[in-house]
Amino acid sequence: MNKLWNVLLYPARLYEKLTDNKVTLVAGIILIGLIDFFLPDVKEICKTYFTDLTGKSVADIQFNIVAAIFIILLLGVIDVVFFSIPLYDIFKFFKKKEGLPHQATAIKVMKVYIMSHFLIIPVNVILYYTVFHDLSINSGAGEIILAEAAFFAIMIWSSAIITRGINTLYQFGPFIKRLTFLIVFTWGFLFSMVFDMQIMNWLLKIFK
């Protein structure tokens, strides 16, 4: 069973090896920005913003290319920093109450969040093309229930990955360890709602 958890959630030793190297953090932030912007449907994004198939002029396409660079960087920063720093502060407060040493830093917590994407994103893309792609308000009840179940399963899995990373870095006692998943899942659910429904929509309005 431990081997299975190591595959699904990464081995604890991997989190222990995380450093405060800022170069890898910046690279991770850019990668998350690219993921947020292009996935799950790269082809549709390129068609919509970077081709003349939707009636865009050459000037519009050039503007969108420059805007995309800005938006990718901004998405990466907002996603990684705004998700991770509140969790870092919350768990630092809990750890201070325990009065014990730990390995956690803000950069390491952000890297835990970035790492979670490497396992989740391939599954998300597969689910998009097999479950979510043709989903609409006219879809059958079974399809909608399946999609919702898949969404929550991914949320639970992502939260479990982040939870293992945070618990490894902070070395919490048994009581706080039990609360970690609940805090991560709740914050992740709230943040994803705001990020997907508000922030993404606002930024995409920049495009012509």
pLDDT in tens, 136-179: 667 777 778 888 898 899 999 999 999 999 999 999 988 899 89
Contacts of 35 (CB under 8 A, 6+ apart): 117, 121
Question: Could you tell me which residue, 123 or 52, shows the higher pLDDT?
Answer: 123
Number of Cβ within a 10 Å radius of residue 121: 17
Helix axes 58-98, 106-127, angle to 10 degrees: 130
70-99 pLDDT, tens digit per residue, is 999 999 999 999 999 999 999 999 998 887
Q: What is the pLDDT of residue 133?
A: 77
Average pLDDT over residues 114-135: 89
Q: What is the pLDDT of residue 197?
A: 82
Q: What is the pLDDT of residue 129?
A: 87
Work out how many domains the chain is built from and give that number. Answer: 1
Question: Could you tell me which residue, 72 or 129, shows the higher pLDDT?
Answer: 72
For residue 18, which phi and psi values (nearest 5 degrees)? -65, 145
Confirm whether 2 is domain-assigned: no
Q: What is the pLDDT of residue 101?
A: 82
Confirm whether 91 is domain-assigned: yes
Confirm whether 12 is domain-assigned: no
Confirm whether 104 is domain-assigned: yes
Confirm whether 182 is domain-assigned: yes
Q: What is the pLDDT of residue 130?
A: 83
Confirm whether 3 is domain-assigned: no
Q: Classify residue 83 by burial, with Cβ atoms within 10 Å: 0-12, 13-18, 19+.
A: buried
Q: Classify residue 39 by burial, with Cβ atoms within 10 Å: 0-12, 13-18, 19+.
A: middle
The residue range of the domain holding 134 is 21-204
Q: What is the mean pLDDT of the chain?
A: 92
Confirm whether 5 is domain-assigned: no
Alpha-carbon distance of 4 to 82, in angstroms, equals 31
Confirm whether 170 is domain-assigned: yes
